[in-house]
Amino acid sequence: MTHAHLTQHQWHLLVDTVAEFCDATGGTREDLHDRAAGILDIASPPEWTPIVDDGPARELWCHIYEVLGALAHLADAAPHDIRHLHAVGRQVADLAHRMVTHREPTHV
């Protein structure tokens, strides 16, 4: 796979510009923003992947990136496989539940 010859700073500016398009339309084209942001995320070099520091939310963030990867590869892996589509949908639902129930640990 080849990547665009942009610096990491230029790449982040491009990501920010895509977000500004969404803001400029008042969120009416959030779907376009989400697709563009997903493409940019998948196409960025692996070493630019955000590093999640050790902490109470690390496991959750690892799960988020795992599900994002499953979604990103869904169209290429099995675009017409309903069982695979449902399996990834269950992963998304499980992640959604985990995200809405996530609590910071309390220290006693």
Q: What percent of the chain is predicted at pLDDT more than 70?
A: 83
Q: Is the pLDDT of residue 2 over 70?
A: no
DSSP-derived secondary structure letter, 106: P
* Model confidence at 73: pLDDT above 90: no
What's the token pair of residue 4? 């665009």
For residue 38, CA distances in Å to 15, 43, 68, 105, 106 come to: 10, 8, 9, 31, 34
pLDDT at position 98 is 93
- Alpha helix stretches (DSSP H) within 49-81: 58-77
Calculate the alpha carbon distances from 41 to 28, 36, 51 in Å: 21, 9, 14
The 10s digit of each residue's pLDDT in 42-51 is 777 767 766 6
Burial of 29 (0-12, 13-18, 19+ CB in 10 A): middle
Question: Contact, 70 vs 51, CB < 8 A?
Answer: no
Instruction: Please indicate, yes or no, whether the overall pTM of this predicted structure exceeds 0.85.
Output: no
User: Tens digit of pLDDT for each residue in 3-18?
Assistant: 557 787 887 788 788 8
- Please tell me the predicted confidence (pLDDT) of residue 108: 52
